[in-house]
Structures are given as C-alpha cells and as structure tokens.
Structure 1
C-alpha cells in the first residue's frame, strides 16, 4: 500500500466515523502529526476525498470536512438505491459458486459479530461492509462497485453516529434482515432480494431522518 493510499484510508475512516468533525478545518501540519506522514501523500488523499464529496476545498483556506446535511443524505441514498438494485440484479444473474460461498461466509461472519456480547463495534462495521460488498461483487462492473464504495461511505457518515449511540437497531432484528437478504440472493430471486434491500436501507433512513428532525 502506498503512503497516499494509507493517507486516504486513514482520513476517510476518520471522517466517516466522525473523529474528524463535519465542517472542521484540515490543516496540513495537524494531519501530518496525526498520521505521521508528509504533506505530499496527504494532499493527494485530500484531493481524492474532495472528489468523493467527503472534503471540500476553499480558496485560500485549504481543506475542510464536508458538513452533514439531510438533503445530501437523501440524494446519496436515492443514488445508492439506483446503483445497488441494478448491481444486485446483475450479481444474481452472473454470480457463480465462488460468489455464493463468499456471500454465505460474509453473512455468517456478520451474524457471529452481531451476536457477540460487548463485541467491537468497528469490527461489526467492517463485517457489515463486507456483507454488502459480497452481495454485489459478481455484478461484473467495476464502475458500479466503485460507486457502491463511495455511496456506502457517504451514507455511513449518517448511519454510524446512530449505531455508536446505540439506536441503530430501533427494535429491528438486523441479523434476520441480512440473513433474509442473503437467502433471497442465493435463491436468485431478483424481485424479493431487491425489495428486501430497499426495505433494509429505508428502515435505516427512517432512523436517520428522525435523528435529524425530519
């Protein structure tokens, strides 16, 4: 992994998790000390994050973490549903035994972590991302998977504070939701799988809207 890639992943994770606060200035000297690396890989990482709308650049003022906005979340969610429902259809049509085995493994790993008492919430999030990536991984489109990654992070900025605050479930059985989605996908039921995917995201969106007073 290059220094620029390491800088990008570190910055992106800290922005998505809220360790770098929305609207906060991203001063090069501070970032260099925080991540123990030079300015060049950090600038490259910040430019990449700007393209993903996680960072904004202000003339004469440098970089800043993008603000949170319910309108921005709704836009990202609508776009995510367009991309992922089509990617899921393709994955169900094109996915072979390797894809199915990967999805089964990701589902089981997510279930194990979700059911662990006092488990690491960030390990849970890692496995949650792996599940949704596995679901779409056989779509045959690098563009779709790249958009999936960008939109996953864009919406996770809103979901993670709810998860960390302990309100992520809202009375839902999230293990059962993911298991049902995996079962529908493995049965190659495109209609049911896509309906469950949309319901899954809309249920989370309802919690986020309530948190933001919508």
Structure 2
C-alpha cells in the first residue's frame, strides 16, 4: 500500500489522482513513459481536465514531469536522484525514530511487533523461494517502517516522510529489489532496537539498511534499462495495451 491509496468516499478526481500515483510508485507506469491524455482517459475513466489536474499534482511531487506542449511523462530515474531521495528518507526517518522511541507506549510496541511479524513471514517465504507478490512484500515493509516512527507525535513529519518513502519505493519497485537474508536480519535488529529504545543502534542500522539498498540497485545495474531515451521505456503489459503502446 502506498500513501496514494484512499477511501471509497473520495471524488472521481481524487480517486484518479491516487490511482495514477499508485501506478507510478509501483512502477506499473514505467520511468520515462509518455502519459498521453487520451489513453489515460480510457484507463482511468475521467476527463482531460481532471487528468491534467492530477498530473500537475504529481509533477509537484516529483513523480511526473510536465513537458510543456508535449504533455506529461513519468519522471525518469537515475542513480543521483535515488541517492538524494535516500538521504532525504534517512533524514526524516532518523528524526522520527528518536521522537517515536522516546514517546512510544505499550500499544505502540504491539503495533511494531505486529508489523514486523507480517514482514518477517513474507521474507521467510521469499528466502525459501516461494512465490510472493512484490507489492504485498513492499506493503509490509512500509507498514513496519511506518510503525517504528508512528509515535513521533508530528503529523507533518509523518506526511513528509510518507511522500519521501513513496519516491524511494518507486526505485525499489523498478529494480524489483530483495536483498535476501541481510535485509531480513536488519529488520529484526530494528525491531530489537525499538523494543529496547536504542535510538543510536536503530539509526545506525537504518543508514546501513537504506544505503545497502541503494548500492544494491545502482551497482547491480537495475536502473540501466531505464537510462535510455524515454521512448524506450516500457509500461506494464495491461497498461501498455490500454494506452495504445
């Protein structure tokens, strides 16, 4: 689940914005892909004006780029951008960890333990070579990291972190990255640190966790297929067919 997902009572325009945002974050719409308004209208079932409004909102978030008279495209990816987003995530998450660990109560501990349990179960399945849905795995990963900072006491910090996390998540979904046992072990240590209220250990571990992911993606060449011209970016098959690609 990304921060783009809303509720059933929202307006058609808000629903379209959230659907497009989720498709970008989960890499169903590929980096660099042109976003033709006529094709999008068929896929998302809203008018051109509503789509323009949604795409402009996404452009302000750095997930889409406006190309003037040429329309819109999904924001490209690069190693430099990924590193910058990773640093922003670390800045926000480490600040929130310190506040959350200080204020967290027994209910907060229970939420952290529960979130980690779901994540650990899915990680064990992935390590055993069993099939698992990538979006569900990343949903549980997100829920765990969000639970760690949930007691920080700042709505603004949590909202800013959620936006930064989604931009980081997009890179993980583009690269389909699972670093195996090391990531699972780091999550377990983060849980231990939270229950022990060991802020320094958690912050040091988080930096290793995030920087390890960046290194894995960049050095492994996962972004290389998207470094060519936007024309070559390929959307997911169902969206490609709907958008006439």
Secondary structure, aligned partner of 2:181: coil
CA distance in 2, matches of 1:40, 1:93: 47
Between 78-87 and 148-157, report the one with greater CA deviation.
148-157
Query: Could you list the runs of 4 or more consecutive aligned residues of structure 1 that deviate by over 6 angstroms after TM superposition?
Result: none
Mapped pair 1:130 → 2:139: no
Query: Equivalent residues in 2 for 1:97-136 (5 A)?
Result: 97-116=106-125, 117-136=130-149
Name 1:168's counterpart in structure 2.
Answer: 178
Query: Does structure 1 residue 91 correspond to structure 2 residue 129?
Result: no
Task: Evaluate the alpha carbon distance shift between residue 45 and residue 84 of structure 1 in structure 2; reply closer, same or farther with a 3 A threshold.
Answer: same
| Counterparts of 1:60 and 1:160, CA distance in 2 | 30
TM-score, normalised with respect to structure 1? 0.90
Change in 2 beyond 3 A, CA 1:40/1:142: farther
Deviation, 1:144, is 1.4
* Superimposed CA distance per residue, residues 92-120 of structure 1 (whole angstroms, 9 cap, x where no aligned partner): 01112221111111000111222232122
Give the Cα–Cα distance (whole angstroms) in 1 for the partners of residues 97 and 44 of structure 2: 37
Question: Partner of 1:75 in structure 2?
Answer: 84
Per the TM alignment, residue 40 of structure 1 is displaced from its structure 2 partner at its CA by 4.3
Q: TM-score, normalised by structure 2?
A: 0.79
The aligned residue for residue 153 of structure 2 is: 140
Match in the other structure for 1:183: 192
**Quick one: which of 164, 172, 176 aligns to 1:159?**
172
* Equivalences for residues 35-46 of structure 1 within 5 A: 35-46=44-55
Tell me the SS of whatever aligns to 1:125: helix
Q: Is the 8 A contact 2:89 2:164 kept in 1?
A: yes
Provide the rounded CA distance (Å) in 2 between the counterparts of 1:38 and 1:115. Answer: 44
Give the number of aligned pairs: 210
Residues 114-169 of structure 1, C-alpha deviation per residue, up to 9 Å, x if partnerless? 22321222211111111111111111112211221111121222222332xxx521
The change in CA–CA distance for 1:122 and 1:152 in structure 2 (over 3 A counts) is same
* Structure with more contact order per residue of length (Cα contacts < 8 Å, sep ≥ 6): 2
RMSD value, Cα: 1.9
- Residue by residue over 1:43-90, the C-alpha shift from the partner in whole angstroms, topping out at 9 and shown as x without a partner, is 332222111100111221222111111111111111111111111101
Structure 2: gaps (5+ residues): 1-6, 225-245
